[in-house]
């Protein structure tokens, strides 16, 4: 995947997260709005070693905006993706062997 491909997800809506614990697999459905309509994007994480959701926002949300998204590689060589959801007080961090967006590997 080319640098900057994740930029299209900034401001999108995290619609659904399906966590398969036995398989260490997470599939995230993301809705990207544009003047042409909504596009569904799928982020898949396989071989998850860590999954962390945090929020100090005291109420439920009407929708989950992806305010920022960043990919990196850990010192051990795993892939990591970090979402800022609404504010710095809420986010999702996933460390996995492989992370793809619409079937294409995310290179950091």
Percent residues over pLDDT 70 in the chain: 94
DSSP annotation string for 18-54: EEETTTTEEEEEEEEEETTEEEEEEEEEEEEEEEEEE
Distances (CA, A) of 14 to 17, 22, 27, 66, 91: 8, 23, 11, 6, 11
Check: CB of residue 68 under 8 Å from CB of residue 90.
Answer: no
How many whole angstroms from its chain centre is CA 59? 21
Mean pLDDT of 4-23: 92
Kindly tell me if the per-residue pLDDT of 3 is higher than 60. Answer: no
Average pLDDT of span 45-65 = 91
Pick the residue with more confidence: 107 or 92? 92
Average of per-residue pLDDT values in the chain: 91
Q: What does the pLDDT average to over 26-55?
A: 95
The 3-state DSSP class for residue 64 equals coil
∠ CA 10-14-19, rounded to 5°: 130
106 pLDDT higher than 70 = yes
pLDDT surpasses 60 at 47: yes
Q: Note the pLDDT tens digit of each residue in 59-103.
A: 888 889 999 999 999 999 999 999 999 888 999 999 999 999 999
């Amino acid at each position: 995947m080319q640098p900057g491909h994740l930029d299209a997800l900034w401001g999108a809506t995290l619609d659904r997260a399906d966590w398969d614990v036995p398989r260490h697999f997470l599939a995230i459905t993301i809705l990207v709005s544009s003047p042409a309509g909504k596009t569904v994007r799928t982020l898949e994480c396989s071989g998850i070693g860590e999954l962390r959701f945090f929020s100090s926002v005291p109420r439920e949300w009407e929708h989950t905006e992806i305010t920022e998204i960043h990919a990196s590689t850990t010192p051990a060589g795993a892939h990591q993706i970090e979402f800022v959801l609404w504010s710095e007080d809420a986010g999702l961090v996933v460390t996995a062997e492989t992370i793809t967006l619409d079937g294409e590997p995310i290179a950091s």
